[in-house]
Structure 1
């Protein structure tokens, strides 16, 4: 039986989903020096330092990334030294699937045009991302987890997939739909299908969304997601 204490401890890994992923199920996709870690080039730009980083940690991360490189610190609360140039700051929220619920019952994936995407689909995935701008997506991002898409007349018009994977959790990300295919339920179908897969293997889904994206927040709430708390996404450039 799951207790309230278990749930609190379980949720804590979401305070540092990047570090928890790179130290666990994504360790094979990680580069590391000391307590600083980041993803392999072309997989993701997310980086992580310890919970209480000191000068050596920031120096190690700068060494990993190289001079003048982009460091996406995701929702890391620690701020790097003043020699690191701020690139962006974006307010958002972290949303989680309730522990006592199951995803709504979507139509069978074969009946909704949902297909699984892989390495052979990278070119069209990158094209869709370029047109819809759901967030960071690189040539090897699909290696982070399962990606699903919907085609219309053979063309990929919608996509969503799995990104960060801290212990017990899987993040749903890259939710996007081409302009000509919106308002047809594609995003809801894909997120629901992914959530069902994640729950079936024993994980809980979670996701991140920009605070200003009220339409996406409303969609996720209709699907059953609940806000865990606010986050601030930050990016910097190394000295």
Structure 2
């Protein structure tokens, strides 16, 4: 696995170095499953999990969460080297970006998305692959969308929340409606909403997704650092 590379820092908030752990022991404690050694979101909400540390005891706790629920995704500063018994399903490198701009008054026409919209949200996520999205992901809150002729064609929302920061996620647009600025408009809307609460928006994007990174930079997001994304299951 690759070592973490330091990138231009936009802040030293420790919570952003271990976002999942700080979210599940803080503002999103009500969504946590697990114990002191390892925590995760319920699989229907998101696959993300975090270890308290890298001791055998914490990995044992993580093993129990995988056995009981499903494989997990870890986002860490350093490469994860699990003990025997785990299976590496995927490894990738993420770029964590933090808002550095000035919010603008949102102009994007939109609708607030609720539980009744979940079937359409799942279909849009399946078609566009913006990242993990399950039947209970709506519980993160803050989801907004654009409808054309009654059809949901774009959406974006909030995901992990730590002290002073809220993540923007699930930004996606139906292929037939791209190039109209819908994703940008929804992101500006979310940025304005998060900033109005006195918080700072942030996001994660695959380092290989150069097009998205360029768009996020243009919107006012700056690179904070690279992170490891490691998806683990159990060895057969």
Q: Is structure 2 residue 119 aligned with structure 1 residue 128?
A: no
1:182 maps to 178
Deviations 1:192-239 (A, max 9, x none): 100000000111000001111111111111110000011121101124
- Within a 5 Å distance, the mapping from 1:1-239 to structure 2 comes to 11-50=13-52, 52-66=53-67, 69-75=70-76, 77=78, 78-98=80-100, 101-107=101-107, 112-239=108-235
Deviation at 1:76, TM superposition (A): 5.6
CA distance in 2, matches of 1:9, 1:37: 25
TM-score by length of 2: 0.90
Structure 1: stretches of 5+ with no match in the other structure? 1-6
Deviation at 1:10, TM superposition (A): 5.4
Structure 2: stretches of 5+ with no match in the other structure? 1-8
Deviates more, 1:69-78 or 1:174-183: 69-78
CA distance in 2, matches of 1:67, 1:167: 29
2:6 maps to none
TM-score by length of 1: 0.89
Moved >6 Å (runs of 4+):
none
SS of the residue corresponding to residue 142 of structure 1 reads: helix
CA distance in 2, matches of 1:29, 1:35: 16
CA distance in 1, matches of 2:144, 2:128: 16
RMSD value, Cα = 1.8
Q: 2:113–2:145: 8 Å Cα contact kept in structure 1?
A: yes
CA distance in 2, matches of 1:24, 1:136: 22
Deviation at 1:180, TM superposition (A): 0.1
Q: 1:39–1:46: 8 Å Cα contact kept in structure 2?
A: yes
